[in-house]
Amino acid sequence: MRSIRLFLAAAGLAVAMAQPAVAAKPSVYTGVFSKVAVSGYDPVAYFAVSKPVEGSKAFTASWQGAEYRFASAANRDRFKADPARYAPQYGGYCAWAVSQGYTASADPNVWKIVDGRLYLNYDASVGRKWASDIPGHIAKANANWPKVLG
């Protein structure tokens, strides 16, 4: 019985040592138990029709380990041709939070396109904070990204 306990203790220690101390966050925010980016909204629509549009399970593309959904095949194809152009900055995490040195989820209805890049924020209140100094917050967020992922 003692040898079984020693074996199990050694096996447990080996497994614990093989695990990272803190797992890094994914580079694209998808929420818990999901692999869908931008909460299922079409990232191309922000540029094409200047508003958030829900994507469809019928039109998807994978990029950086996440599934992106689109309102049309044409939008999906635009994304596939140049995903870095359409994907939200900072992996879809809240742009203001990244500027402050941490990550937070983002509401796809709180957004802004600046210099051809899509930025999302946590909620309307945070969006107003971010809008108070967009160039400054972008500079800070760029300095923090991707270090904030851990």
Helices 124-131 and 134-144 cross at an angle (nearest 10°) of 100
Domain tally, the chain = 1
How many CB atoms are located within 10 Å of the residue 112 CB?
Answer: 15
Judge whether 15 lies within some domain.
Answer: no
Judge whether 10 lies within some domain.
Answer: no
Helix (H, G, I), strand (E, B) or coil at 50: coil
Tokens of 69: 């959904």
What pLDDT does residue 25 have?
Answer: 87
Judge whether 115 lies within some domain.
Answer: yes
Judge whether 11 lies within some domain.
Answer: no
Judge whether 12 lies within some domain.
Answer: no
- pLDDT confidence tier of residue 8, bands split at 50, 70 and 90: very low
Beta bridge partners of 28: none
pLDDT mean across residues, the chain = 89
Judge whether 132 lies within some domain.
Answer: yes
| CA–CA gap between residue 116 and residue 86 (Å, rounded) | 9
What pLDDT does residue 22 have?
Answer: 52
**What's the pLDDT tens digit per position in 67-102?**
999 999 999 999 999 999 999 999 999 999 999 999
| CA–CA gap between residue 115 and residue 44 (Å, rounded) | 15
Residue 34 has phi, psi (to 5 degrees) of -140, 155
Judge whether 7 lies within some domain.
Answer: no
Domain of 136 in residue numbering reads as 25-149
- pLDDT confidence tier of residue 11, bands split at 50, 70 and 90: very low
Judge whether 14 lies within some domain.
Answer: no
Beta bridge partners of 62: 67
